[in-house]
Amino acid sequence: DTEVTQTPKHLVMGMTNKKSLKCEQHMGHRAMYWYKQKAKKPPELMFVYSYEKLSINESVPSRFSPECPNSSLLNLHLHALQPEDSALYLCASSQEGWPGRETQYFGPGTRLLVL
Amino acid sequence: SQQGEEDPQALSIQEGENATMNCSYKTSINNLQWYRQNSGRGLVHLILIRSNEREKHSGRLRVTLDTSKKSSSLLITASRAADTASYFCATDVSGANSKLTFGKGITLSVRP
């Protein structure tokens, strides 16, 4: 199984809502990532979990809260988002936990719209 | 900040032609990767080339790396309409706490 799955595919939320994005992989990968991608822009790294521990936080606002319950699952909890947070949120994983040195496998993304 | 810069930003070719995309970067790297993204979807890994390698092939793809010029090229031969996508180079900067940094991307359109 070489697939990274993400749910939901689409999400519309108000600025006072709390929602969560979910990501799952069953490839035995030890690193998982959250990226944010605005239209016609490259993906921007948000968080990296390596061996279930947060190893990189790219100065992301606290209204985004990552969680790694186990080595196969990665969540992104959203609270009090702003309209400018509307974007495609991509999850990825890689095998050994070396974020920059390995192939990353991406999920299809969650398209988020904040009203 | 972006490490890689692709050139051109957009490319339109006829099916069957070859497509060449270039990526330049600023600082020393451990490796360089190319990814493809179809509209609004996740990225797909194409090729990883390490700093001590000069050329790699994968099917219709050929990637070169010139560390002295800090540049890489991706060649897609005999292009197909299905190759229409955005292509990103991504670099891993040498040093501790490495991460993958993506360039701005190239939009390739292959006309049937």
Distance from CA of A68 to the nearest CA of B (A): 19
A28 burial type by CB count under 10 A (0-12 exposed, 13-18 middle, 19+ buried): exposed
Judging by DSSP bridges, how do beta strands A18-25 and A4-7 pair with one another?
A: antiparallel
Dump pLDDT digits (tens) for B72-107. Answer: 999 999 999 999 999 999 998 766 567 888 999 999
Q: How far apart are the first and last CA of chain A?
A: 36
**A98–B contact, CB cutoff 8 A:** yes
Q: Which residues of A touch B35 (CB under 8 A)?
A: 106
CA pair distance A115, A81, nearest whole angstrom: 9
Residue to test with chain B: of A86, A106, A111, A113, most B Cβ within 10 A: A106
CA pair distance A112, A62, nearest whole angstrom: 17
Judge: A100–B103 Cβ closer than 8 Å, yes or no: no
Dump pLDDT digits (tens) for A6-51. Answer: 999 999 999 999 999 999 999 999 999 999 999 999 999 999 999 9
Dump pLDDT digits (tens) for A52-106. Answer: 999 989 999 999 999 999 999 999 999 999 999 999 999 999 998 777 788 999 9
**B44–A contact, CB cutoff 8 A:** yes
Nearest residue on chain A to B86, alpha-carbon basis: A40
